[in-house]
């Protein structure tokens, strides 16, 4: 098996992915030795990766229990949601100015909205991946690397909540949410700032509604 240059980064990416996809459920114990065996690496980079995930808010280290996947409070989720809206809305003005500057990002956005047209409402893994890529590309359209890093950090919490929230939304509402991505892209291409802001806020409405379901 080929590993990336940093085994710590490899372990970090794999553990984060497994948390985000539910392989490691909320409140489950993360045993470094077992994870290291699963990844076929030593436990040293795994422990380092787990400590980084503690700092990112996805994992907790509890005395005598070790590492566990964090259980988010309603306030944690609300903070994530508010921060996401602030960042995406802040990026709108600059993203519009950069439409001609980043044709490669526009092409990727177009490819994603085409995929949304054919996705099954039960395919939550693909939906999460496409949702993540689409909104991260919107942030990247602002051309601000620090904003991109902060958004990715914030998404560490959001990606876990996304799977939970989408599972509570009706298939009809879910399909409406998926179709909204094309409207968002069109508003961006038309450089309609007011409409783009409105669409982004409306698009995130089901997450806001789902906060009330979270226990």
**Residue 203 maps to which CATH number?**
1.20.120.530
- Whether 189 maps to a domain, the answer reads yes
Structure tokens at 148: 């991109």
CATH number at residue 13: 1.10.10.10
Of residues 49 and 212, more confidently modeled: 49
Whether residue 124 is found in the same domain as residue 175: yes
Instruction: Tell me how many domains the chain contains.
Output: 2
Q: Are residues 108 and 22 in the same domain?
A: no
Which band of pLDDT confidence, cut at 50, 70 and 90, is reported for residue 210?
low
> Using one digit for the tens of pLDDT, what is the confidence trace for 4-43?
558 999 999 899 888 877 788 888 999 999 999 999 999 9
Task: Indicate if 105 and 121 belong to the same structural domain.
Answer: yes
Domain that holds residue 105: 74-211
Q: If we measure between CA atoms, which residue out of 156, 146, 153 comes closest to residue 94?
A: 146
The pLDDT tens digits of the residues spanning 125-152 come to 787 788 889 999 999 999 999 999 888 8
- Give the position of tokens 């602002």: 142
Please report which residue ranges of the chain form alpha helices under DSSP H: 7-20, 32-39, 43-56, 74-97, 103-116, 124-140, 145-166, 171-189, 193-203, 205-211
């Amino acid at each position: 098996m080929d590993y990336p240059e940093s085994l710590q980064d490899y372990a970090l990416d794999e553990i984060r992915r497994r948390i985000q996809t539910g392989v490691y459920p909320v409140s489950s114990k993360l045993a470094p030795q077992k994870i290291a065996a699963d990844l076929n690496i030593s436990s040293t980079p795994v422990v380092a990766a787990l400590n980084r995930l503690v700092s990112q808010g996805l994992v907790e280290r509890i005395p005598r229990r070790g590492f566990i996947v964090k259980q988010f409070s309603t306030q944690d989720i609300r903070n994530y949601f508010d921060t996401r809206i602030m960042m995406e809305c802040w990026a709108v003005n600059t993203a519009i100015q950069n439409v001609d500057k980043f044709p490669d990002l526009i092409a990727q956005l177009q490819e994603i909205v085409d995929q949304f047209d054919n996705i099954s409402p039960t395919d939550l893994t693909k939906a999460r991946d496409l949702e993540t890529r689409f909104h991260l590309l919107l942030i990247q359209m602002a051309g601000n690397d620090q904003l991109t890093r902060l958004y990715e950090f914030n998404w560490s919490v959001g990606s876990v909540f996304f799977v939970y929230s989408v599972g509570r939304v009706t298939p009809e509402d879910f399909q409406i949410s998926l179709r909204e991505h094309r409207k968002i892209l069109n508003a961006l291409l038309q450089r309609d700032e007011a409409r783009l802001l409105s669409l982004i806020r409306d698009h995130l409405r089901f997450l806001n509604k789902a906060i009330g379901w979270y226990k």
